[in-house]
């Protein structure tokens, strides 16, 4: 029998408890105390810039001929009830892209928004979060000059202790199925600089907030923390 608390208006109200409880100070006291408040205000980190070359200091990009022809569309996030599987796929979708293709930042953003809060409550906040992870259209065009591609190696994916603290502070008022995963890994970029292949690496860490069954019928992405300012 379907639990009415996990469907319709009741489900939407329970999902909104994440924000309302934070605004009331229950979760905010914990998250602000450790510098994480993505569920309330979203990240404020700057957008990633172009690959930093290790060669000459005077720009000399190789002008690309035409983008690489590949698949007609990007693969969607898996429809799964497994939060760890979904979190790993979401991290890949967030960090893996290639400017020397026919895809644009909006295409990558659309993949993540297609797996967003089905009620739409958290979607405006997620859109804001994504703008701080994905390059802007102007930055993307700059990166295209260097044929820049990016990917991530995930070193650790886990539910942080501070999420358990936040859940305990909520005193049972958060819907079952709401969960946070922290991702720790290395962001890689490669591109062409003076006709030579160059690469850069940078350690990254962030937390994603998910809703999975029974709160929702499958795992969805609610919000993202500030980049390099995760729950631990």
- Residue 111: which domain range? 4-53+63-224
- Is residue 230 assigned to a domain? no
- Is residue 15 assigned to a domain? yes
CA-to-CA dists, residue 19 to 179, 195, 218, angstroms:
14, 49, 21
pLDDT band at 16 (very low <50, low <70, confident <90, very high): low
- Is residue 133 assigned to a domain? yes
pLDDT band at 184 (very low <50, low <70, confident <90, very high): very high
Judged by average pLDDT, the poorest of 67-76, 126-135, 177-186 is 67-76
Reply yes or no on whether the pLDDT at 82 is more than 80.
Answer: yes
Mean pLDDT of 202-228: 96
Mean per-residue pLDDT over the chain, rounded = 80
pLDDT band at 72 (very low <50, low <70, confident <90, very high): confident
- For 35, residues 6+ apart whose C-beta sits below 8 A from its C-beta are 226, 229
Tens of pLDDT, residue by residue over 123-161, are 999 999 999 999 999 999 999 999 999 999 999 999 999
For residues 14 and 210, the model is more confident at 210
Q: Considering only CA atoms, which of 176, 131, 142, 153 is closest in space to residue 5?
A: 176
Reply yes or no on whether the pLDDT at 223 is more than 80.
Answer: yes
- Is residue 175 assigned to a domain? yes
| Signed CA dihedral, 44, 15, 116, 205: sign only | positive
Question: Strand order in 196-211's β-sheet?
Answer: 97-98, 149-158, 178-193, 196-211, 220-224
- Is residue 232 assigned to a domain? no
Other residues' Cβ atoms within 10 Å of the Cβ of residue 53: 19
Q: Count structural domains, the chain.
A: 1
In angstroms, how far is the first alpha carbon of the chain from the final one? 37
Residue 180 near residue 211 (C-beta atoms within 8 A): no
- Give the pLDDT score at 132: 94
pTM for the whole thing?
0.73
- Is residue 229 assigned to a domain? no
Mean pLDDT of 81-104: 97
Other residues' Cβ atoms within 10 Å of the Cβ of residue 94: 23
Query: What is the C-alpha separation between 196 and 55, in angstroms, rounded?
Result: 9
CA-to-CA dists, residue 109 to 93, 136, 140, angstroms:
9, 11, 13
- Is residue 69 assigned to a domain? yes
φ, ψ for residue 94, nearest 5 deg: -75, -35
- Is residue 231 assigned to a domain? no
Mean pLDDT of 186-208: 95
Percent of the chain clearing pLDDT 90 (strictly above): 65
């Amino acid at each position: 029998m379907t639990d009415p608390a996990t469907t319709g208006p009741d489900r939407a109200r329970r999902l909104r408890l994440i924000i309302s409880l934070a605004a009331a100070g229950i979760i905010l006291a914990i998250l602000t105390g450790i510098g994480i408040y993505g569920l309330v205000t979203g990240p404020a980190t700057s957008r990633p810039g172009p690959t930093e070359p290790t060669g000459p200091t005077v720009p000399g990009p190789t002008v690309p001929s035409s983008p690489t022809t590949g698949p007609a569309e990007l693969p969607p996030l898996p429809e799964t009830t497994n939060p760890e599987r979904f979190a790993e796929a979401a991290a890949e979708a967030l960090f893996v892209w290639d400017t020397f293709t026919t895809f644009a930042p909006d295409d990558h953003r659309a993949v993540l928004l297609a797996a967003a809060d089905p009620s739409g409550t958290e979607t405006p906040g997620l859109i804001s979060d994504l703008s701080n992870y994905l390059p802007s259209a102007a930055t993307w065009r700059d990166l295209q000059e260097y044929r820049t591609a990016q990917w991530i190696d995930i070193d650790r994916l886990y539910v942080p202790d501070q999420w358990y603290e936040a859940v305990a502070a909520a005193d049972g008022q958060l819907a079952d199925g709401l969960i946070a995963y922290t991702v720790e890994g290395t962001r890689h970029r490669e591109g062409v600089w003076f006709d030579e292949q160059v690469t850069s690496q940078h350690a990254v860490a962030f937390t994603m907030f998910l809703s999975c069954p029974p709160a929702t019928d499958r795992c969805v992405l609610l919000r993202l923390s500030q980049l390099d300012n995760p729950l631990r």
